[in-house]
């Protein structure tokens, strides 16, 4: 099962709406006001919103979401 789909099933409707809104803004290129930072030593970026972390990379200037995770000590492993 897809990791992102599995996370969405566990979240409340309010949290799903929030993540959908944020990922929509990211895909449209509306990054003003979003906390985005490049991860050191890789080509990945993280977008931080509350306890959620959206890990993505850019292909031809367009963001591609790799993972959506809850913040914990293992959040950035593998990136």
* pLDDT band at residue 7 using 50, 70 and 90 as cut-offs: confident
**What is this structure's pTM?**
0.82
- Which domains, from first to last, does the chain contain? 3-70 (3.30.2310.20)
Alpha-carbon distance 22 to 8, whole Å? Answer: 14
Phi, psi of 33 (to 5 degrees): 85, -5
Collect all residues with Cβ–Cβ distance below 8 Å to 55 and sequence separation of at least 6. Answer: 39, 44, 45, 46, 65, 66, 67, 68, 69, 76, 79
Answer whether residue 79 shows pLDDT above 90.
no
22-43 pLDDT, tens digit each: 989 998 888 888 999 999 989 9
Distance of CA 54 to the CA centre of its chain: 1
Mean of the per-residue pLDDT values of the chain: 89
Decide if 9 contacts 3 (C-beta within 8 A). no
């Amino acid at each position: 099962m897809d990791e992102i789909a599995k996370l969405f099933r566990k979240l409340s409707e309010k949290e799903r709406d929030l993540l959908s809104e944020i990922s929509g803004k990211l895909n449209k290129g509306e990054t003003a006001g979003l906390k985005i930072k490049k991860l050191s030593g890789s080509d990945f970026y993280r977008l931080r919103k509350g306890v959620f972390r959206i890990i993505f990379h850019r292909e031809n200037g367009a963001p591609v979401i790799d993972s959506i995770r809850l913040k914990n000590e293992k959040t950035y492993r593998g990136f």
